[in-house]
Structure 1
Amino acid sequence: MIAEISRAWGWIGIDPDEVVAENDFGNVIVRATDGRFWRITPEDGTCCVVAENRAALDLLLYDQEFLHDWYMRELVGVARENLGELSSMRKYCLRIPSYLGGAYGMPNLSTAPIHEIIGMAGEIARQTHELPDGAKIQLKVVD
């Protein structure tokens, strides 16, 4: 997973060292080599520092607003009801990311291997991060 995070998200400045948490929607918290903690949020196409050190992360993990956003209980409930329980190494995801207009609900929910979610999210984010809001894009799937 570290190699995939580095490949897909290294362009943003993260030098990953260890994945310290994953949620059911493929979000991960990663400790970087400099000791900072980053959150990758595939559905939003973001990878940003959430804590400067372990003590700050420990405080963040008590923040109710952060925890509500992290666990995504309502969306996980909808996904579980429609798609079933997750199997090993798979996570729920949005077929079309929210920042590209994808809805947070059925039928835009699916499951995929977490490394594919992280990889694809990083690649799409890299290609679209400088586009202005409302820009039209065209996705091309290439084997």
Structure 2
Amino acid sequence: MSVRWADLIFQPDAALSKTAIEAWSWKIAGLWRPVLMTRMADVFFERDDGVHWLECATGEVSRVADSESRLHALMQGDDGELWHMRPVVEALHEAGKKAGEGQCYWFITPPGFEGGVYTPENMFVAPAHEVVSLSADLHRQICDLPDGAAIKLRVV
């Protein structure tokens, strides 16, 4: 099944950008501006030292480009394949799960937890602002725990 560029990435609107900045302020200090999001809920943001990738599923942040224009060029190559996860999105579409405007994919069990895999059976479509907020809150609560620590998720 063929996916379009809009099925993989989108530009967050002002409200979603504000949600991301507020939700992840505990991890990302200073001024930053979301420039792109993937349907996997990852946020690419720009600040004075370049463009960074916030992987919401893992809570990891890494610098990926010197500028937004360089990011767009990298999106066309192997780095882009890693970031927007075309094969996963194709599998989700084949399973009848297609994120629309303002939506992205999230996990029943997030990666990093036992059973947290990138498969259609473990993923669903959700509003992007909820995923960004939820993932930030989850990672804020577990950021000081050692790898392998047992946790219990309680959804209220």
TM bin (shorter chain): 0.7 to 0.9
> Which residue is 1:70 aligned to?
83
> Which residue is 2:138 aligned to?
124
> Which residue is 1:104 aligned to?
118
Is residue 153 of structure 2 the alignment partner of residue 139 of structure 1? yes
> Which residue is 1:29 aligned to?
44
| Distance apart, 1:21 and its partner CA | 1.4
Q: Superposition pairs for residues 25-64 of structure 1, below 5 Å?
A: 25-32=40-47, 34-51=48-65, 53-54=66-67, 57-58=70-71, 61=74, 64=77
Equivalent-residue separation in structure 1 for 2:71 and 2:98 (angstroms): 29
Give SS of 1:99's match: coil
Scaled by the length of structure 1, what TM-score is found? 0.82
| Distance apart, 1:3 and its partner CA | 2.2
| Distance apart, 1:63 and its partner CA | 7.6
Name the structure with the higher helix share.
Answer: 1
Equivalent-residue separation in structure 2 for 1:86 and 1:59 (angstroms): 22
Is residue 20 of structure 2 the alignment partner of residue 5 of structure 1? yes
| Distance apart, 1:13 and its partner CA | 2.6
| Distance apart, 1:133 and its partner CA | 1.4
Give SS of 1:110's match: strand
How many residues are paired up? 140
Deviations 1:95-128, CA, capped at 9 Å, x for gaps: 2210123121132110111111111111111111
Aligned CA-pair RMSD: 2.4
Give SS of 1:11's match: coil
> Which residue is 2:35 aligned to?
20
Change (3 A) 1:68 1:38: same
4+ residue runs of structure 1 moved beyond 6 angstroms?
Answer: none
> Which residue is 2:9 aligned to?
none
Identity of aligned residues (%): 25
* Amino acid corresponding to residue 144 of structure 2 in structure 1: E
> Which residue is 1:89 aligned to?
102
